[in-house]
Amino acid sequence: MTTDAFIEKLSRRAPLTNDEIDCLRSLFSPPKAFSAKTEVIAQGSRPGVSCLLVAGYCGRVNTVEDGGRQITQLGIPGDFLDLHSLLLDAMDHSVVALCDSEIVMVPHDKLRRLTETHPRLTRLLWMETVVDAAIHRQWIVSKGRRTGLGQLSHLFCETYLRLEAAGHASDFGFEFPISQTDLADIAGMSAVHANRLLQQLRADGLIRWTANCFTILAWDELRVLGEFDPTYLRLTRARV
């Protein structure tokens, strides 16, 4: 089952009891398919469900007045795309499928009931949103104080480790069916500039990215270039 990957991911942070696993399982229903470029959650809407991404990539998208687009979060399989909406109301941004994706919808009332009965699971879900915030802060650092190359390098290191922890990457390779335009909207740069930086990373033998398949050829160099320190991803066991 695809949702088991999520349970597996949580249990890597803290061991789960059978009761807790059952409680999580009771949240899930069969996934829905969303094709590339489809809007999963509309800006301004008040969703009654949160979305667990089980396959594909999704992005939180903010649109600015001049038509510019900024992606503020990259959702990978195993991510709760919008646990936030459990606590907030109207969406101030939209969630868009960046490629063909599969999503399990989890009703908010089920989640709210979970918070009444399972404090430890609640803290684990809370922790998911807190790690998301830590990732946000790293993106702020990237955009504020890293060079273009450093920014992309950091993003690729981060994405690889997150995917690996979710069981969707190994040997420095992963599926990455994202357009350069979307990548540019993630990095907050023009598509032209993103393209040139990618060419440089390729020419320097750091990455390969063809046919939707991304490979990190020189992890150590990429890590140094992006000043990447994975502490903030909290991939190790925690005390919750």
Partner DNA sequence: CGGTCGATTGATGCTACTCAAACTTAGTGG
Partner DNA sequence: CCACTAAGTTTGAGTAGCATCAATCGACCG
The answer to whether 219 contacts its own copies (rule: CB under 8 A) is no
Which pair of structure tokens corresponds to residue 84? 């936030």
Nearest to 35 by CA among 8, 55, 20, 16: 55
| 18 three-class SS | helix
- Binding residues for DNA restricted to 87-126, rule: CB under 7 A: none
Q: Residue 70 Cβ, how far from DNA at the closest point, in Å? A: 11
The answer to whether 68 contacts its own copies (rule: CB under 8 A) is yes
The answer to whether 189 contacts DNA (rule: CB under 7 A) is yes
DSSP letters spanning 19-67 = HHHHHHHTT--PPEEE-TT-EEE-TT---SEEEEEEES-EEEEEE-TTS
Alpha carbon distance 72, 96 (integer Å): 11
Name the residue with tokens 């909406």. Answer: 85
The answer to whether 147 contacts DNA (rule: CB under 7 A) is yes
If the CB atoms of residues 33 and 87 are measured against its own copies, the closer one turns out to be 87
The answer to whether 143 contacts DNA (rule: CB under 7 A) is no
- Binding residues for its own copies restricted to 24-63, rule: CB under 8 A: 60, 62
If the CB atoms of residues 1 and 42 are measured against its own copies, the closer one turns out to be 42
- Binding residues for DNA restricted to 11-40, rule: CB under 7 A: 37
Helices (H), the chain: 4-13, 18-25, 108-117, 119-145, 148-165, 180-187, 191-203, 219-225
| From 141, 191, 233, 235, residue interacting with DNA (rule: CB under 7 A) | 191
The answer to whether 127 contacts its own copies (rule: CB under 8 A) is yes
Binding interface with DNA (CB under 7 A): 37, 68, 147-148, 179-181, 188-193, 195-199, 211
